[in-house]
Amino acid sequence: MDGLSLFWRGLALGFSIAAPVGPIGLLCIQRTLNGGMIQGFVSGLGAASADAIYGTIAALGLASLASFLASISFWVQLVGSLFLLALGVRIFLLRSATLTTGSSGSGLLASYGSAFLLTLANPMTILSFLAVFAGIGLASASSGYSGAGWTVAGVFLGSACWWLFLSAVTGLLRKRVTVKALLWVNRFAGCLLVGFAICLLVSLWR
């Protein structure tokens, strides 16, 4: 299979994996409403970068690394769940809700880093990538560094396209949001993120 075909398959895969709205999607929406489209999109890029890392492991067929990540998944998910819980509480307790017009470099870096770590804190994602790659024939077709490179580039760009779309649409709605409404958005988003975190924590002991 040529590189361009692998790229398009990876792009479709990256978009479909990112599209379901979960904790990261909710975080992207909340940050877009608070800080603007750029902050929301940068948060999405953090998630896309983590997807690219797991996609690289799956594309290269690094079974031993995938097995290691699965073996420490409990502790990684525990830390990630606690981080998500703290983030949800922090967003809920935001009192000075303001509609800012831009974000500083440090603020964007923090948005990117937190979304990256939250996505990376779910090592079971690698198993999803391995299963999907095998199911659509990418596991064997992308053997070698060149094929893996095309595939992962597609995964990253596909994921980034979804985050660009989500932050752009939310950014358009942002113009209609008042400061008072934003305060309630933060409370609602904080409650949902705490709920996600609690569900993840409960699932660890099932």
Residue 197 or 66, more confident: 197
- The confidence score (pLDDT) of residue 166 equals 92
- The confidence score (pLDDT) of residue 136 equals 56
Tokens 């935001």 belong to which residue? Answer: 94
Decide: 205 and 92 in contact? Cβ < 8 Å.
no
Mean pLDDT score of the chain: 80
pLDDT digits (tens, 9 = 90+) for 96-147: 555 555 555 668 898 999 999 888 887 666 666 766 666 655 555 445 677 7
- The confidence score (pLDDT) of residue 46 equals 93
Decide: 3 and 146 in contact? Cβ < 8 Å.
yes
- The confidence score (pLDDT) of residue 142 equals 46
Residue 47: pLDDT over 80 = yes
Residue 60 or 197, more confident: 197
Mean pLDDT of 38-59: 88
Tokens 């379901």 belong to which residue? Answer: 20
- The confidence score (pLDDT) of residue 6 equals 80
> Can you spell out the DSSP letters for 53-107?
HHHHHHHTT-HHHHHHHHHTHHHHHHHHHHHHHHHHHHHHT-------S---HHH
pLDDT digits (tens, 9 = 90+) for 157-203: 999 999 999 999 998 888 787 777 778 888 888 898 888 889 878 88
pTM, 2 dp? 0.78
- The confidence score (pLDDT) of residue 162 equals 93
Rounded to whole angstroms, the Cα distance separating 136 from 151 reads 12
Rounded to whole angstroms, the Cα distance separating 61 from 114 reads 27
Decide: 10 and 138 in contact? Cβ < 8 Å.
yes
DSSP 61: T
Tokens 């924590």 belong to which residue? Answer: 201
The residue among 142, 132, 146 whose CA lies nearest residue 15 is: 132
- The confidence score (pLDDT) of residue 139 equals 53
Q: Which two tokens stand for residue 152?
A: 């992962």
Mean pLDDT of 145-154: 81
